[in-house]
Amino acid sequence: MGLQKLILNIILGFLNIFVKRFKIKENQVAFVSLESKYLDSDMKLIYDVLKQDKQLNLKKVVIEYDQQGIKQNFLYMLNCIQQLFIINTSKVVIIRDNNYVVSTFKREGVNVIQVWHACGAIKKFGNALARKYPIKNYDYVIANSSYWKKPYSEAFSVKEENVVVTGMPRVDCLFDDNYLKVSKNKLLAKYPMLKDKKIILYAPTFRGNIYQGFSMLPFDGEKLINSFDENTYLIYKLHPLLKNICLPQHPRIIDMFNEDTHELFALSDLLISDFSSIVFDYSILNKTMYFYVPDLNDYLKDVGCYVNIDLFPGKICKNIDELIQGIQKNEVGNLEAFKNIFFEYQDGKNTKRVVELIYDILKKSL
Q: Which residue type, as a one-letter code, is found at position 253?
A: I
Which of 85-89, 98-102, 153-157, 237-241 shows the lowest per-residue confidence on average (mean pLDDT)? 237-241
pLDDT, residue 212, reads 56
pLDDT in tens, 285-324: 999 999 999 888 877 777 777 888 888 899 999 999 999 9
Band the pLDDT of 68: cuts 50, 70, 90. Answer: low
Closest CA to 65 of 50, 78, 55: 78
pTM score: 0.88
**Cα-Cα-Cα-Cα dihedral sign, residues 281, 285, 286, 290:** negative
CA angle 66, 70, 73 (to 5 degrees): 45
Cα 349 to chain centroid, rounded:
19
String of b and e for 69-99 (b: at least 16 CB within 10 Å)?
A: eeeeeeebeebbbebbbbbbbbbbbbbbebb
* Average pLDDT score over the chain: 89
| Mean local confidence (pLDDT), 8-31 | 93
pLDDT in tens, 178-199: 999 999 999 999 999 999 999 9
pLDDT, residue 302, reads 72
From first CA to last CA, the distance across the chain in angstroms is 39
Contacts of 310 (CB under 8 A, 6+ apart): none
pLDDT in tens, 244-273: 677 778 999 999 988 999 999 999 999 999
Nearest 10 degrees: CA dihedral of 97, 100, 104, 108?
Answer: -40
pLDDT, residue 42, reads 94
pLDDT, residue 210, reads 53
Better-scored residue on pLDDT, 241 or 29: 29
Contacts of 150 (CB under 8 A, 6+ apart): 160
Work out the percent of the chain whose per-residue pLDDT is above 90.
Answer: 64
pLDDT, residue 357, reads 97
User: Is the confidence at residue 354, as pLDDT, over 60?
Assistant: yes
- What distance in Å separates the CA atoms of residue 335 and residue 319, rounded to the nearest whole number? 22
CB 163 within 8 A of CB 153: yes
pLDDT in tens, 145-182: 999 999 899 989 999 999 999 999 999 999 999 999 99
pLDDT, residue 262, reads 95
Contacts of 277 (CB under 8 A, 6+ apart): 118, 119, 120, 121, 122, 205
User: Is the confidence at residue 240, as pLDDT, over 70?
Assistant: no
Band the pLDDT of 211: cuts 50, 70, 90. Answer: low
pLDDT in tens, 319-353: 999 999 999 999 888 899 999 999 999 999 999 99
Better-scored residue on pLDDT, 63 or 239: 63
pLDDT, residue 110, reads 97
pLDDT, residue 73, reads 80
pLDDT, residue 130, reads 64
pLDDT in tens, 94-147: 999 889 999 999 999 999 999 987 787 777 777 767 667 788 899 999 999 999
What is the side-by-side order of every strand in the sheet holding 253-255? 253-255, 232-236, 198-202, 270-273, 288-292, 315-317
pLDDT, residue 232, reads 98
String of b and e for 211-231 (b: at least 16 CB within 10 Å)?
A: eeebebeebebbebbeebeee
Domains of the chain: 3-171+348-365 (3.40.50.11820), 177-342 (3.40.50.12580)
pLDDT, residue 265, reads 98
Contacts of 297 (CB under 8 A, 6+ apart): none
User: Is the confidence at residue 366, as pLDDT, over 60?
Assistant: no
Closest CA to 250 of 293, 202, 321: 202
pLDDT, residue 71, reads 79
- Please state, as a whole number, how many other Cβ atoms lie within 10 Å of the Cβ of residue 54: 6
User: Is the confidence at residue 50, as pLDDT, over 80?
Assistant: yes
Angle, helix 70-87 to helix 3-19, in steps of 10 degrees: 30
